[in-house]
Amino acid sequence: MQKQGNQTIKFDNPPQIISSASIVGNKENQGPLGEYFDEVISDGYNKQPTWEQAQIKMTKDVMDKTLYKASLSKSDLDYLLAGDLLDQAIASNFSARKFPVPFIGLYGACSTMIEAMALGAMMIDGGAANKVLTYTSSHYQATERQFRTPNEYGDKYPPYKQRTVTGAGATVLSDKQGGVQISEATFGKIVDLGVSDPQDMGSAMAPAASDTILQHLNDVGRSPSDYDLIVTGDLGKVGKSLVMELLSEKGCNVEQNFADCGVMLYNSSQKVGAGGSGCGSSAIVVSSYLLPQLMYRNLDRILVLGTGALLNSVTPLQGETIPCIAHAITLTATGHLVKGIGRKKAKDNLATKIETVKIENLSGNEG
């Protein structure tokens, strides 16, 4: 691999994505991308006694599903890379208990999925691994209870607040031919411009996202028009608008091809405030929607950013502002069809297929 500019790595032998899967909640399934997800859990408890255990089961199930789609066993993996929003990342840690595979726990808040994919790509391109499973998850009730106001309190949504996504996503990275490759990774810097409201995640994360986008473009010598899509993880409507404004001030126009996973997941009638947030936001959109779009060549090259607010439940109460991060990877179509990417239709026992959709509305605020 080669370092380009200050923060970007270009992979000499780009790691391939050979499988991906997602599991979501009912709210996410009712949104514009509902038909692309692999599985929907019955309710917030997911047939478990607690919300935290519901998230753990959802995470374990998406790991198993991703391996099944790739026709791999647990022993075929070299490493697990994962993290989540719960204290000590228990959804990821506990889900790995029955995997006889080295586990590397990560915490990048909602940037964790892209961080995991970038680090996994480095391990494969550097010769340290052949197959790596990356995964993450978030859960509406469990996360709201930990970071904000428990749902039982009946707290109202301010217009800029986002709903934590209930969802888990996973990918298998490999040194063998896949449907999509990770050609570059740009690791972000901590950016803190003084936002202290833990309900206003979009405003807090927008400066980090714009900083990483600008750094990536400068490092690789490209313009926004060189990408079919530039998509952030969970800025929501407020953060998405701020990123466009911040980039415009720097002479970088992304209006035509900029989207946000948190905006794409819901429609206006679902009343989720400014959109979706949480580790699961980028994980489920990338694993079930964007990767198939690349594999079927509706898109050829996209830049995906994971955006994360690195606070905990105590720091806002102590008057701290919110440091944020944004990591990015370049995903490129390879022209190969692989069975592990894309939703397998219930009545199709022979091949995985998806119904492709146009992307004209991905930059719109209504998903």
Please check the confidence at residue 367 and state whether its pLDDT lies above 60. no
What is the SS3 assignment for 274? Answer: coil
Residue carrying structure tokens 């990015």? 328
Q: Give me the half-sphere count of Cα atoms (radius 13 Å) on the Cβ side of residue 163.
A: 21
pLDDT digits (tens, 9 = 90+) for 48-58: 999 999 999 99
Alpha carbon distance 158, 276 (integer Å): 14
Q: How far is CA 299 from CA 90, 209, 282, 354, in A?
A: 35, 22, 17, 14
Q: Is the pLDDT of residue 85 over 60?
A: yes
- Kindly give the residue spans of alpha helices, DSSP state H, lying in the chain: 26-29, 51-69, 90-95, 112-125, 140-147, 201-220, 236-249, 261-264, 279-285, 291-295
Give the C-alpha separation, 65 to 176, whole Å. 20
Say whether pLDDT at 12 is over 50: yes
pLDDT of residue 317: 84
pLDDT at residue 344 in the model:
46
- Report the b/e string of 111-132 with b at 16+ CB within 10 A: bbbbbbbbbbbbbbbeeebbbb
- The model's confidence at residue 212, banded by pLDDT at 50, 70 and 90, is very high
In order of start, what are the domains of the chain with their CATH numbers? Answer: 1-342 (3.40.47.40)
Closest to 282 measured CA to CA, from 253, 302, 305: 305
Compute φ and ψ for 7, nearest 5 degrees: -135, 5
Q: Using the Cα atoms of residue 150, residue 154, residue 158 and residue 160 in order, give the sign of their dihedral.
A: positive
Q: Provide the pLDDT confidence category of residue 356 given band limits of 50, 70 and 90.
A: very low
Cβ–Cβ < 8 Å for 235, 111:
no
Report d(CA 116, CA 132) in Å as an integer. 10
Q: Is 4 helix (H, G, I), strand (E, B) or coil?
A: strand
Query: For a pLDDT cut of 90, what percent of the chain falls above it?
Result: 80
Q: pLDDT value at position 273?
A: 86
Q: Rounded to whole angstroms, how far apart are CA atoms 279 and 93?
A: 15
Q: What is the mean pLDDT of residues 233-254?
A: 96
Task: Count the neighbouring beta carbons within 10 Å of the beta carbon of residue 347.
Answer: 5
In 126-258, which ranges are continuous DSSP H helix? 140-147, 201-220, 236-249
> What pLDDT is stored for residue 73 in this prediction?
97
268 pLDDT exceeds 80?
Answer: yes
Q: Which of 311, 313, 333 is nearest to 321 (CA)?
A: 311
Q: CA-to-CA distance for 151 and 164, rounded, in angstroms?
A: 12
Band of residue 162 on the pLDDT scale cut at 50, 70, 90? confident
